[in-house]
C-alpha cells in the first residue's frame, strides 16, 4: 500500500490540500486507473512520474473534478470534490502542455478570461494581469499577441498566468514544459521554481522527466499501469525499490547521475 506524502494529516490534524482515497476510474475494458490513494500536503510540491499511459493525467483530472471516479473519494482540503463544484475548482489552477490557450483571444485576454467571467472590475483584472505578467516575465508586446504568434515558452507562461489569475491554493501542472526546447525549458524551470517557492502554493506536477521531477520536488510518486508503484524521495526509491520496475524507470532517465547498484 502506498504511503501518504509528507503533507499527510500532521500533528495538528490539518487535512492534506489534495487527497485521493482508493479512487479509481475505468476508461474501457481492461483499462482502469487506480485504485490510488495519495495525499499532497499543504504547501508541498509533489512530482508524479511514470511511463506513458501510467494514468498520471487521469489522476490529475480526477483531482480537478474533470474525470469522475467510478469509486473512492477525491478531497480538496478535506472536502469531497464533485464534478459540478465550480467554486472549489477555482481554487485549483491547472496548467497543461502548450498552455491550452484559446487561439482567438490575445495572451492578455486568455489570462484574464475567468476573472472577467466572474465579473471582476476592469481595474482589478488589469492590476492582476500586470502582477502576473511580472511573475511570468512577459512584456506588454507579448500580452497583445495571439497564441499563434507566441513562442512555446511564452504560451506556457501565459498558461501559467491564467492558472494563477484567481490566486488558487493549489496548482496542478500536466507536463507543462514537455514541448519546449532544452534552453527554454531550463529557463522556465528556474522561473517556475521561483514562482512556486515565492507563492508557497501546493503543487502537483506531472512530468516524464525525472531530472525535472527532482528539480521541483523532493517527493516523487511513481505510477505504472494505473497504480502508484512507490512514492518517496529519490534516494529512498533508489535504496529500497518496491519493484524492479522502479530501478528500471530511474535508470532509463538520462541526465541524472545515479549511484551504481551495489
Ligand X SMILES: Nc1ncnc2c1ncn2[C@@H]1O[C@H](COP(=O)(O)OP(=O)(O)OP(=O)(O)O)[C@@H](O)[C@H]1O
Beta bridge partners of 96: 174
Out of 23, 54, 150, 158, which residue is the one contacting ligand X (CB under 6 A)?
54
Asked if 205 contacts 48 with a C-beta cutoff of 8 angstroms, the reply is yes
Q: Is 9 helix (H, G, I), strand (E, B) or coil?
A: coil
Interaction of residue 56 with ligand X, rule CB under 6 A: yes
Interaction of residue 34 with ligand X, rule CB under 6 A: no
Interaction of residue 33 with ligand X, rule CB under 6 A: yes
Q: Which of 19-49 are b and which e, b meaning 16 or more Cβ less than 10 Å from the residue's Cβ?
A: bbbebbbeeeeeebbbbbbbbbbbebbbbbb
Q: Which is nearer to ligand X, 157 or 224 (CB)?
A: 224
Interaction of residue 257 with ligand X, rule CB under 6 A: no
Asked if 211 contacts 219 with a C-beta cutoff of 8 angstroms, the reply is no
Residues binding ligand X: number (CB under 6 A): 12
Interaction of residue 248 with ligand X, rule CB under 6 A: no
Q: Which is nearer to ligand X, 2 or 125 (CB)?
A: 2
Interaction of residue 229 with ligand X, rule CB under 6 A: no
Span from 1-9, 53-61, 103-111, 139-147 in contact with ligand X (CB under 6 A): 53-61
Out of 44, 45, 57, 154, which residue is the one contacting ligand X (CB under 6 A)?
57
Interaction of residue 53 with ligand X, rule CB under 6 A: yes
Interaction of residue 213 with ligand X, rule CB under 6 A: no
Out of 27, 124, 130, 248, which residue is the one contacting ligand X (CB under 6 A)?
27
d(CA 48, CA 228): 9
Please give the grid coordinates belonging to residue 174: 500536466
Interaction of residue 201 with ligand X, rule CB under 6 A: no
Out of 31, 144, 239, 240, which residue is the one contacting ligand X (CB under 6 A)?
31
Please name the residue ranges forming H helices in 79-199. 86-89, 107-117, 122-136, 140-143, 152-164, 182-199
- Give the β-pairing of 18-28 and 31-40: antiparallel
Out of 58, 154, 189, 230, which residue is the one contacting ligand X (CB under 6 A)?
58
Interaction of residue 68 with ligand X, rule CB under 6 A: no
Interaction of residue 41 with ligand X, rule CB under 6 A: no
Residue 147 has phi, psi (to 5 degrees) of: -50, -40
What are the respective helix, strand and coil percentages of the chain, to the nearest 5? 35, 25, 40
Interaction of residue 128 with ligand X, rule CB under 6 A: no
| Chain contacts with ligand X (rule: CB under 6 A) | 27-28, 31, 33, 50, 52-58
Amino acid at each position: 500500500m502506498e504511503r501518504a506524502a509528507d503533507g499527510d494529516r500532521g500533528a495538528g490534524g490539518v487535512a492534506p490540500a489534495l487527497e485521493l482515497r482508493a479512487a479509481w476510474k475505468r476508461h474501457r475494458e481492461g483499462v482502469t486507473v487506480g485504485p490510488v490513494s495519495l495525499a499532497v500536503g499543504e504547501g508541498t510540491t509533489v512530482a508524479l512520474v511514470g511511463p506513458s499511459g501510467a494514468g498520471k493525467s487521469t489522476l490529475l483530472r480526477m483531482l480537478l473534478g474533470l474525470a469522475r471516479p467510478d469509486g473512492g473519494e477525491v478531497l480538496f482540503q478535506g472536502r469531497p470534490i464533485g464534478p459540478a463544484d465550480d467554486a472549489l475548482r477555482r481554487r485549483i489552477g491547472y496548467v497543461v502542455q502548450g498552455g491550452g490557450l484559446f487561439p482567438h483571444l490575445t495572451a492578455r485576454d486568455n489570462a484574464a478570461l475567468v476573472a472577467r467571467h466572474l465579473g471582476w472590475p476592469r481595474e482589478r483584472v488589469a492590476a492582476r494581469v500586470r502582477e502576473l505578467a511580472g511573475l511570468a516575465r512577459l512584456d506588454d508586446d507579448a500580452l497583445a499577441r495571439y497564441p499563434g504568434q507566441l513562442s512555446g515558452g511564452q504560451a506556457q507562461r501565459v498558461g501559467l498566468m491564467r492558472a494563477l489569475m484567481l490566486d488558487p491554493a493549489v496548482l496542478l501542472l500536466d507536463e507543462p514544459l514537455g514541448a519546449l526546447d532544452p534552453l527554454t525549458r531550463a529557463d522556465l524551470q528556474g522561473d517556475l521554481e521561483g514562482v512556486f517557492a515565492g507563492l508557497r502554493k501546493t503543487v502537483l506536477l506531472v512530468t516524464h522527466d525525472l531530472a525535472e521531477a527532482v528539480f521541483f520536488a523532493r517527493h516523487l510518486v511513481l505510477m505504472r499501469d494505473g497504480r502508484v508503484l512507490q512514492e518517496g524521495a529519490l534516494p529512498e526509491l533508489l535504496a529500497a525499490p518496491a519493484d524492479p520496475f522502479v530501478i528500471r524507470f530511474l535508470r532509463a532517465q538520462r541526465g541524472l547521475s545515479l549511484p551504481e547498484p551495489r
